[in-house]
Amino acid sequence: MPSSLPNCIIYDKDIYGVKDLYSLQLESLSKNIMYMANGNEIVRAIFKIQMEQLQQEVWTPLCFAEKVSQVKFSTKRFVGDALIILDSKNFHLCDHENYNDLFRNHRIKGGYILIEDVLDEEFKFYKIESKNVGLALRIEPKWFKILRDRITINGILERELCNEMLIKRKRIDDTKKIRSSEDMSDKSRKETNKEVITWRDSMSNNNIYSIRSKKSRHHYYDEIGKHMIEYDKLQENNDVSNSPFLINCKGCDYNIRRKKDRSSECYIYIEKDLATTISGRWEKDNEDVKYIKPYMTLENIDKRNVSVQRTSNINKENLIINNMVIDKDKNELRANAKLWLNNVIEETGIYENLNNFIDRDFFDFTNKEIFLQIGAIIQKGPDLNLDGFFGIEIFAKNSMEEKFSIEGKVRNTRNERKIYAIGIITALMIIPDNVIVDLRTDDKILKWLIDYSNIGSNRRELDDPCYIFLNCINIVLELKNIRLLINEKKANDMMVMKSVKLPALKQELIRCKNSIKEVVLKYSNIAVDEYALRWNYNLIEGAYRKCFKEISNNINRIDLILMDYVKDCFVECNGANVMIDWKETFRLINNEITTSRNVMSRLDASIRSFRVKNFLKILPTYEILYERKVWGIQNTKCPRCIVEIETWEHIWSCGNNGSYTESKLFNDSIEEICDNVMIDEDANEIKEFKENLVDISTGRSNIMILNNMIREITRGIINEKWMHVCKNNSFKIILRNIFDLYLTKIQEHIWKERCNETTELEKQMGIFKDLKRKKRDARRIRKLIQQN
């Protein structure tokens, strides 16, 4: 093959099918990064740590997945380098531009401080160094060191701002106050040994302190902490504007140990509903007594504990009131169903019908076992595309009167399982909480759901093409406390479902497909995983390795279609390319009719090379060689007839081909195959089959307008007209063998004979194979032309 041949031809799976190592690495990275981001607890924690570290290193409040496009060098971490590689191919892990994003906490929130206010006089260093735009600095600049030391605690690379910066950001004049919008929902479980857990005792109204929490077997309390008390020696001279000095308690009334020895350590139960966490530091006094000092004043600790206690009491009172009022429970179920509906389905199409069901008939299905019947089909849409249609029937057990049915349409899909999954999600949005749902649908769909539920591996779940839909179904079932029965079916019920109800439901969908409204899902909320992979900000639904293969193959196919070599088959054919049977065409070009795809030999390589070049019209004719500036080729005239320019079309019609013409070789191929293969066939059928092939061969081509249909076969293109004359599959096999033999005769009797004659003529002119590898001297040839 020529060195100028585009890579898309080499990597196209239907031509040469060579594997692209870079694409294979992308396939592996996509699945690995999704498993790390949403896998088991340990792997997910490691991924989150690396993402936070990368966010700290690039010093940005944005999620690193947003900032990755601006990182121009290696991060020396697998997660960071993988995201950089994926971003180079427009694959993104987060979509924080979406205002409905459930995981916007990847960004660091807060106010802003102008860099001039922080640097003051040193701002001149920033102005000088910021002029070098586009340079990725490897050495920490001077202005950054000053900035880091002034805004962070102890100058460490963390996001803990010092009090002065907090005050400036909130524009608070009193330096003794802290942020009033502090998050009151901090976890009580300690992250490090430098954190203090505190809450307010409801009996004595005193602040309780604890550290080093661990799990408890108590039926109510989940954690146990080591009790801390104020250090009297240092606390005497302390006031409420400073943080307390806390030491280990040696025993008190809060101690839960069986042996309440005053000389031993004191352990207490942690009130998780009231407790909050404060960072601190360990220090020692003159007597080497170790104490911890939290980063919060006594006044603010007391205010926060009071606020948390007040909020907890209000929540408990509301819970008691809600449990006492039964009608309010139903209203909450209805409000919950509307909340699910608004978050998952767009307010268009069938949304109004679903909302009306929740307003009118919702209470008829609460506290009952529900039957859910779903059927789905795929039909041709109005825009020459495939649309999916599903029908849902919901009715309470032992009551056929309380029934609700609705149909929906999913545009541009050919995956039947996806339609069923969307139908289940739509039904779960309007079904009440805390019910049992008996799902009745196709056997293959039930088997698919059962097999998915039995996988037991987060990594293998990613291989399902409908992963995000199935994952959403599992999360909805868990949050709404719905039990879905998919394998407890009676034989009689399944027989009736399979033979009567499902066919009737599908027939109704076919009959009313033009009037069925569309269901539009909010895909940003369907992806319930914290990280979801997107290509050009379009959500990938699952089977990430397979998706990468399809994207890579489609990119190669698009590049192939837009090439100048085949523009007459796609761009300039006025839509006639729809008549080409591309599957049969590529089988013929790849020599897969008589040779297996896995077989490799010198003869097979020679045949495939010729047929690929022939299809692309890049056979080494004098026109092609002259454009490549091959040494010794001074013009584009045919070296044999010296009359016309030797183009691809001229090869097959040159007068020096002798008695071998396209029509003769095609007729010989028909006779040879029919005489050797169609021995047991009826003579009249054989005669009719031959006449049909000859009639088609003399017809005009709609792709190669100036030629007949034989010229298409000469190029390796198979039109659908040829297949229509075959009565059964055996005739198609015979027709494929005729085309394969014809191309073999073309190569042997015309192309190879032309090459042999041209080689002899070139040797007489002193042009040999080694010399033809050189580029011709344009200046020398131009002088020779001028002299002549």
**Are residues 305 and 357 both part of a single domain?**
no
Question: CB under 8 Å to 435, separation ≥6 — which residues?
Answer: 365, 366, 367, 368, 369, 370, 482, 483
**Residues 497 and 600 grouped into a single domain:** no
Do the Cβ atoms of 170 and 179 come closer than 8 Å?
yes
pLDDT score of 192 more than 70: no
Asked if residue 542 lies in contact with residue 468, where contact means CB atoms within 8 angstroms, the answer is: yes
Residue count (the chain): 788
What pLDDT score does 168 carry? 55
DSSP structural state of residue 141:
P
Helix/strand/coil (H/E/C) assignment for every residue in 213-263? EEECCCCCCCEEEEEEEECHHHHCCCCCCCCCCEEECCCCCCCCCCCCCCC
DSSP assignment string, 325-349: -HHHHHHHHHHHHHHHHHHHB-SST
Q: 28 lies in a domain?
A: no
Pair 303, 331 in one domain = no
With 50 as the cut, is the pLDDT of residue 183 above it? no
Q: Which of 321, 342, 361 is the last residue of a domain?
A: 321
Is residue 477 domain-shared with residue 513, that is, in the same domain? yes
pLDDT at 481: 87
Q: What mean pLDDT comes out for the span 274-288?
A: 85
Task: Judge if 317 and 357 occupy the same domain.
Answer: no
**pLDDT above 90 coverage of the chain, percent:** 13
In this structure, are 690 and 759 located in the same domain?
yes
Say how far apart CA 557 and CA 759 lie, in whole Å.
36
Assigned domain for 273 exists? yes
Which has the minimum average pLDDT: 88-97, 574-583, 634-643?
A: 88-97
Q: Which of 229-233, 329-333, 474-478 has the least mean pLDDT?
A: 329-333
Give which of 550, 549, 527 is closest to 537, Cα–Cα: 527
Please give the average per-residue pLDDT across 278-307, as a whole number: 86
Residue-level pLDDT at 530: 83
pLDDT digits (tens, 9 = 90+) for 94-135: 876 654 555 556 777 655 566 666 666 666 555 555 555 444
Q: What is the pLDDT of residue 106?
A: 75
| pLDDT at 743 exceeding the cut of 90 | yes
Residue 171, pLDDT score: 47
- Identify the band that residue 682 occupies on the pLDDT scale cut at 50, 70 and 90: confident
Q: Are residues 409 and 377 in the same domain?
A: yes
Q: Which domain range does residue 343 map to?
A: 327-526
**Number of independent structural domains in the chain:** 4
Q: Distance of alpha carbon 772 from its chain centroid, rounded?
A: 49
Give yes or no for residue 385 having a pLDDT over 80. no
Please give the structure tokens belonging to residue 185: 């929902």
If one compares 600 and 636, the residue with the highest pLDDT of the two is 636
41 is a domain residue:
no
pLDDT at position 328, please? 43
Q: Is the pLDDT at 174 greater than 50, yes or no? A: no
Q: Is residue 583 part of a domain?
A: yes
Query: Chain-wide mean pLDDT for the chain?
Result: 80
Show which of 271, 297, 321 is a domain's final residue: 321
The pLDDT value recorded for residue 125 is 58
Residues 245 and 386 in one domain: no
SS (H, E, C) 254-322: CCCCCCCCCCCCCEEECCCCCCEEEEEEEEECCCCCEEEEECCCHHHHHHHHHHHHHHHHHHHHHHHHH
- On whether both 605 and 640 belong to a single domain, the answer is yes
User: Collapsing DSSP states into helix, strand and coil, what is residue 380?
Assistant: strand
Check residue 574 and give its pLDDT.
Answer: 79
Categorize the per-residue pLDDT at 72 as very low, low, confident or very high, splitting at 50, 70 and 90: low
pLDDT > 70 in the chain, percent: 80
pLDDT of residue 135: 43
CATH number for the domain that contains residue 344: 3.30.420
Residue 392 three-state SS: strand
The reported pTM is 0.66
Q: Among 253, 288, 321, where does a domain finish?
A: 321
- Asked whether the predicted pLDDT for residue 188 surpasses 50, the reply is no
Among 581, 601, 651, 614, residue whose Cα is nearest residue 744: 614
**Residue 248 and residue 308 in one domain:** yes
**Within this chain, do residues 710 and 585 fall inside the same structural domain, yes or no?**
yes
Residue 289 has pLDDT above 80, yes or no: yes
Q: Which of 135-149, 160-174, 619-633 has the highest mean pLDDT?
A: 619-633
Is the confidence at residue 186, as pLDDT, over 70? no
